[in-house]
Structure 1
Amino acid sequence: MSNRRQFLSFAALSLASSSALADSLTYRSFHAALAQNAQLSVYADSSGDLSGQATVLGQLPRDLNGVFFRNGPGRFELGGERYHHWFDGDGFAQRWHIADGKVSHAGRFVATQKFVEESAAGQFLYPAFGTFVDRKRVKGNDTVNVANTNLLPLNGRVYALWEGGSATELDPQTLATRGIKTWREDLKAMPFSAHPKADSDGGLWNFGTSPGADRLMIYRLNAAGEVTRTAMLTVPQLNMVHDFVVSGRHLIFLVSPYDWELGPDHSLAGSMHWNAGRPLRAVVISKDTLALRQVFELPARAVFHLGNAYEDGACTRLDAVLHEGDALRKTALPMRGESRMTADHPSATVQITLDYASGQAREARLFGVSEFPRVMPQVVSARHRKLMVLGASGRELILDSVNLIDTDSGKVDGYAFGPGWQVEEHVLVPRRGARSETDGYVVGVAQDTRRAQSVLTVFDAHNIKAGPMALARLPYRAPVCFHGNFLAA
């Protein structure tokens, strides 16, 4: 309990010490730019719930039936003020239902404590990741929980996830908010990451961090959603860790070289300072003991998302998207109306080999500017040969293509949507009884900014370059989502 109290006290201190105010200048700057550039609409504010039937173009596969749960930030503005960072917005959960060749959509704000209180007040009250507002005191992690990063279906329930606090349970049919999920009483309000990873028995691994506390919390849940194992480890200079990978024997975390400097004039994001003189670290935890096994060093890069990991003899191989320089800053630029994220910090998808005998880490480049790596669910933590990523036509992180990489040959099967589109994360959905990693579909969402419409896309995973098998167009634009999962009927 003392470790938990220390963990949470650092989190509360971090949240309470920021002071970069939300402002009307950012609001005016963004809207002036939006009037000239429709592509900025993906960062525009959303004001209410959505519900509609999509118009299907092409042919939906008969065996593709289920729900594609998605989540992302939806509210960026309130009372004439606008947030400074894309990650700040209040969570907007979405449900794409596919059945009998038809697609319906519903979207609803997650009714967190923060969202409810600020809606009633008509103004922002609490600090966010990259923006601070000091109108009301923060009492703990879940006071500022925006539940805006992922939707996790588990054991008949659905959870909205945000890495800084608890999971929030939603109704799987209506998306109505049921409330904060406490996995176990002694874990109340502990950070529960937005990127849990499945294990072979149907259970989950997950983690939580608190910037400034140098503590890494590990969770193991069974298929019923019960916590069966936990551990708290000390990791020096630990900062924001968004994702991780699980192999047959290990949990692996990539820790970017940010220095943590808590000050009265910085938001949480502003307290993280890029340090190119320190390495990117791969922290390897043994699944058997939940103890630190080894730490590897790589050249300084930032990282948000990892793909998969597997054991290869005396080595572990994993996929990651690595960004040159301070990637946190470029994700803030569109919030004030800059049309391009930046060309200064390009990214690349790489496969990293961790050699335990030599203590060395090696990299092999797989793809250029990219993000959101995914694999087929049946190969998570096992040997995989196909990796899905979104790509960008230029050095800017404007994602406009869907690509399936053969990690052995380096060949890419890809499709580019072209100008006026911005593509969201796509996932691989296997057919029943799938015998290969391309025996299934690629399902995702793309934003047609010229028509102000959100579009569900379906590809044959065996032939992506042929283009979508089906497009399901909504008659409106839904907020851009970060992550989601497909639940087969």
Structure 2
Amino acid sequence: MALDYPTADALTDTVTPRDPSHWPDTPVFRGYASPVRLEGEVRDLEVVGTIPAALDGAYIRNSADHAHPPMYENDLFLNGDGMLHKVRIKDGKADLSTRYVQTEKLKVERAARRALFGAYRNMFTDDPSVAGKDRSTANTSVVFHGGTLLALKEAARPMRIDPDTLATLGGYDFDGRLKSETFTAHPKIDPRTGEMVAFGYFTTGTADTAVELYYIDASGELTRTERFDAPYPSMIHDCLLSENYVIFTICPMVCDWERVKRGEAFFHWDDRLPTMVGVVPRRPGGARDVRWFKAPNPVMETHTFNAWEEGDRLNLEHFITQTGWLSQFPDINNPQAQEKPPFAQRWTIDLGAGADEISIAPMWGHIGEMPMIDLRFATQRTRHFWFGTNNPALGPMLPRGAKGPPFTCLGHFDAVTEQLDFFYAGPHSSPEEPIFVPRTPDAVEGDGWLMTIVGRRDENRTDLVILDAQALSDGPVAIIKFPCRVHEGFHGMWVPGSALKG
């Protein structure tokens, strides 16, 4: 399925300052993608249908919502300030809260009443008055682990958040044990042990090949840090976790520090470099024994489902695209290249063989992104997969925006029946990342609810939709209607009511 994704050719130019008194007239700041910037609460949201009585908890997700007009005309949506959206669900009722993450960047710019930090991750484009200050936007995802809620951005350390009020409690370094300047937005939690495995790249704030691994026990204590070197200085956005390994896909989305110093885009796509898979044993000292496997072609892993082992065979399930994120970063070899959509693939590595070969097989035929599984079964083979997608047979695709063409559907793939099922959000409507919530703590895999934010673009408004996770085409069980729009987001999660005070 061919899609018309935008290119990032304008980003190859050295950035030049702009008049900061107004917003740029670009797709990032226009129409439904425009900043919202609204902090507040709305109690007793309107509900169409019935919220399942057993649902007790909070849907919390992160977004990039610029608080001030940017310093540069071609600023990316990735550069927005972290804004948290929370829907507290209990007793069939729902309340909405929205609140910025109070980063040092946000505080300094609010005091100045204008943007002072420049292009995405590029300190050389900042106003001199903020030299040495923390540039984190804390805008990508959230994780709840060991009783602590963290807002995450892979270019910085975590920010600790009160899960009840969304108040920012400050930067978080795991009681001084985190020495790196960076921490992934996609840590993985082993449901068998409760251990969280995370990592950081560009750990000193500049481009290098060092990757640090962090092992955090079920109580939230960072117990071990290990280090290895990637083949080249690449964006490492996600990872995979199996029972015995941590797996990294190193893609040719490269950072060249000399280009960054010139004010150019922080990353660029260079498909002259190979895509490499690093397999790190999870045992103590395992980073010393990292093994590298070369993919057949230079491709990019966008986000991951799961990894699992069958004897010596290691299976990696993730979304793969044949280009980089060209809607955000340029292709230096072909500036006019069009970004291609991701497809789900299973990569299999025979760890017992002497060769570095990777076997690749498609998982299904529809495009997709924002993967989700029943996380209680992570690190073992799973049956159920959910994802954002389009299905022209159900309704027309929407015009592309700042992030490329928006989804119109959520998809569910059953690996046993090999059947696809779809929820179509409706004309002018776009669902975002699906979040799975089990019906009960001990429910069988995939028995539960799927939640997604849905943008009602023609109404300039947002809903939270609840679906039966295995019956998407039956339509919503409940639609929780927001009276306003919240900004398009990235990643979220469900925090159970037992972890909340109210």
* Corresponding residue to 1:170 among 151, 161, 169: 161
Greater Cα offset, 45-54 or 220-229: 45-54
Structure 1 match to 2:249? 254
Residue 336 (structure 2) pairs with residue 345 (structure 1): no
- Structure 1 residues 463, 29: CA separation in 2 closer, same or farther (over 3 Å shift)? same
- Structure 1 residues 238, 354: CA separation in 2 closer, same or farther (over 3 Å shift)? farther
**Within 2, Cα distance between the matches of 1:346 and 1:267?**
30
Structure 1 match to 2:233? 238
* Corresponding residue to 2:323 among 315, 322, 325: 325
How far residue 146 of structure 1 moved from its aligned partner, in angstroms, is 0.6
How far residue 412 of structure 1 moved from its aligned partner, in angstroms, is 1.0
CA deviation profile, 1:421-449 (whole Å, cap 9, x unmatched): 12111111112244422211111211111
Residue 209 (structure 2) pairs with residue 222 (structure 1): no
**Within 2, Cα distance between the matches of 1:241 and 1:265?**
18
**Within 2, Cα distance between the matches of 1:303 and 1:24?**
37
- Structure 1 residues 313, 92: CA separation in 2 closer, same or farther (over 3 Å shift)? same
CA deviation profile, 1:71-108 (whole Å, cap 9, x unmatched): 11011642786561111001001211011111111010
How far residue 64 of structure 1 moved from its aligned partner, in angstroms, is 1.3
How far residue 164 of structure 1 moved from its aligned partner, in angstroms, is 1.1
**Within 2, Cα distance between the matches of 1:352 and 1:268?**
37
Contact 2:344 2:362 survives alignment (8 Å): yes
**Within 2, Cα distance between the matches of 1:468 and 1:476?**
20
Q: Counterparts in 2 of 1:132-143, with a 5 A limit?
A: 133-136=125-128, 143=134
Structure 2 match to 1:379? 377
**Within 2, Cα distance between the matches of 1:78 and 1:33?**
9
How far residue 241 of structure 1 moved from its aligned partner, in angstroms, is 0.6
**Within 1, Cα distance between the matches of 2:481 and 2:127?**
41
Greater Cα offset, 431-440 or 252-261: 431-440
Contact 1:108 1:176 survives alignment (8 Å): yes
Residue 71 (structure 2) pairs with residue 48 (structure 1): no
Amino acid at match of 2:488: V
* Corresponding residue to 1:193 among 184, 190, 213: 184
**Within 1, Cα distance between the matches of 2:126 and 2:110?**
16
Structure 1 match to 2:279? 284
Contact 1:241 1:304 survives alignment (8 Å): no
- Structure 1 residues 77, 48: CA separation in 2 closer, same or farther (over 3 Å shift)? same
Structure 1 match to 2:101? 110
Task: Give the 3-state SS of the residue equivalent to 2:258 in structure 1.
Answer: coil
Task: Give the 3-state SS of the residue equivalent to 1:63 in structure 2.
Answer: coil
Q: Counterparts in 2 of 1:265-276, with a 5 A limit?
A: 270-276=265-271
- The total of aligned residue pairs comes to 456
Residue 135 (structure 2) pairs with residue 144 (structure 1): yes
**Within 2, Cα distance between the matches of 1:180 and 1:456?**
29
CA deviation profile, 1:343-381 (whole Å, cap 9, x unmatched): 641221111112221431112212432111111121111
Task: Give the 3-state SS of the residue equivalent to 2:193 in structure 1.
Answer: coil
Amino acid at match of 2:322: E
Contact 2:383 2:416 survives alignment (8 Å): yes
Structure 1 match to 2:10? none
- Structure 1 residues 183, 406: CA separation in 2 closer, same or farther (over 3 Å shift)? same
The answer for unaligned runs of 5 or more in structure 2 is: 1-12, 331-336, 398-403, 498-502
CA deviation profile, 1:127-159 (whole Å, cap 9, x unmatched): 34266642136655x710110011222233211
**Within 2, Cα distance between the matches of 1:254 and 1:87?**
21
Residue 363 (structure 2) pairs with residue 366 (structure 1): yes
Contact 1:20 1:266 survives alignment (8 Å): no
How far residue 212 of structure 1 moved from its aligned partner, in angstroms, is 2.2
Amino acid at match of 1:125: L
- Structure 1 residues 79, 352: CA separation in 2 closer, same or farther (over 3 Å shift)? closer
**Within 1, Cα distance between the matches of 2:155 and 2:246?**
20
Contact 2:304 2:319 survives alignment (8 Å): yes
**Within 1, Cα distance between the matches of 2:170 and 2:140?**
16
Contact 2:269 2:329 survives alignment (8 Å): no
Structure 2 match to 1:124? 115
Structure 2 match to 1:459? 467
Task: Give the 3-state SS of the residue equivalent to 2:408 in structure 1.
Answer: strand
Structure 1 match to 2:5? none
Contact 1:128 1:144 survives alignment (8 Å): no
The answer for unaligned runs of 5 or more in structure 1 is: 1-17, 35-39, 334-341
- Structure 1 residues 429, 106: CA separation in 2 closer, same or farther (over 3 Å shift)? same
**Within 2, Cα distance between the matches of 1:270 and 1:229?**
34
**Within 2, Cα distance between the matches of 1:74 and 1:433?**
34
Structure 2 match to 1:339? none
How far residue 293 of structure 1 moved from its aligned partner, in angstroms, is 3.3
**Within 2, Cα distance between the matches of 1:33 and 1:49?**
18
**Within 1, Cα distance between the matches of 2:42 and 2:51?**
18
Contact 1:304 1:321 survives alignment (8 Å): yes
Amino acid at match of 1:485: M
**Within 2, Cα distance between the matches of 1:50 and 1:82?**
29
Residue 349 (structure 2) pairs with residue 354 (structure 1): yes
How far residue 269 of structure 1 moved from its aligned partner, in angstroms, is 7.3
CA deviation profile, 1:367-419 (whole Å, cap 9, x unmatched): 43211111112111112111111102469632121111123453212112133
- Structure 1 residues 268, 161: CA separation in 2 closer, same or farther (over 3 Å shift)? farther
**Within 2, Cα distance between the matches of 1:332 and 1:264?**
13
Structure 1 match to 2:334? none
Runs of 4+ in 1 over 4 A off after TM superposition: 79-83, 137-140, 264-269
**Within 2, Cα distance between the matches of 1:137 and 1:408?**
58
Structure 1 match to 2:314? 316
**What percent identity do the matched residue pairs reach?**
24
Amino acid at match of 2:293: F
Contact 1:445 1:454 survives alignment (8 Å): yes
Amino acid at match of 2:480: A
* Corresponding residue to 2:201 among 202, 209, 234: 209
CA deviation profile, 1:156-199 (whole Å, cap 9, x unmatched): 32111111111101111111111111114252453111111112
Q: Could you state the TM-score of these two structures normalised by the residue count of structure 2?
A: 0.84
Structure 1 match to 2:25? 29
Contact 2:29 2:35 survives alignment (8 Å): no
Contact 2:125 2:263 survives alignment (8 Å): no
Amino acid at match of 1:375: I
Residue 481 (structure 2) pairs with residue 473 (structure 1): yes
Task: Give the 3-state SS of the residue equivalent to 1:104 in structure 2.
Answer: strand
**Within 1, Cα distance between the matches of 2:201 and 2:238?**
11
The two structures, once aligned, show a CA RMSD in angstroms of 2.6
